[in-house]
Amino acid sequence: MDELTLTQRIVVWILPVIFAITVHEVAHGWVAKKRGDTTASMLGRLTLNPIKHIDWIGTILVPVVLVLSSTGFIFGWAKPVPVNDNNLRHPRVDMALVAIAGPIANLLMALIWAGIARIGVSVELETISLPLIYMGIAGISINLVLALINLIPIPPLDGSRVLACLLPPKWAWHFNRIGSLGLIVLLVLLMTDTLSMVLGYPLYYLQQFFFSVAGM
């Protein structure tokens, strides 16, 4: 996307980023409701209306800065959907299911964007095909990044909740108590470029698969 102007890059990325983050959070709330907790539903968070989920820093500022800096590594976050584990039928297992729902939703979104890009590839008129292709590439990329980052077992990421389910209850309790430290670790990984190195290979191969689905 190097040939795009600054304005074009923002236009191309804005919808994929907002929908990737929004659908991720809605997936958490939807699975929580299925498992017995209606907190998110009662608070009106089971909606694809991005205004209900926007965190002005994580949903807008951080992605825009990353797009402007042309790092090639775009991510963000929304306001977390509230989940009360006391309402879940099987709290430990159900919290793991609620957590993994976010990354799975992102993988499904990546598949949808691959389909949109494939439509763009098949259209001969450039004014229609190029926006679809570029947005498809952006949608694939942001959703794969969000899925992979959230699978890392560091609190407060989704992967930590899955790991907590697999640990013995006492270990899981201690593990969950390091939430604030986990955020510091995550920030250090981001700032030192370690995270991009760790995710580089899986991200590359997943992108190649979805790009092939898109016919690119």
CB 2 within 8 A of CB 9: no
Q: Nearest CA to 47 among 29, 65, 73, 74?
A: 29
Helix axes 194-213, 179-191, angle to 10 degrees: 80
Catalytic, 126? Answer no
CB 120 within 8 A of CB 128: yes
Q: Given 3, 25, 124, 126, which residue is catalytic?
A: 25
CB 39 within 8 A of CB 87: yes
Helix axes 91-122, 126-151, angle to 10 degrees: 160
CA distance 190 to 83: 27
Dihedral sign for Cα 44, 46, 47, 53, please: positive
CA distance 22 to 50: 6
For the annotated catalytic residues, the residue numbers are 25
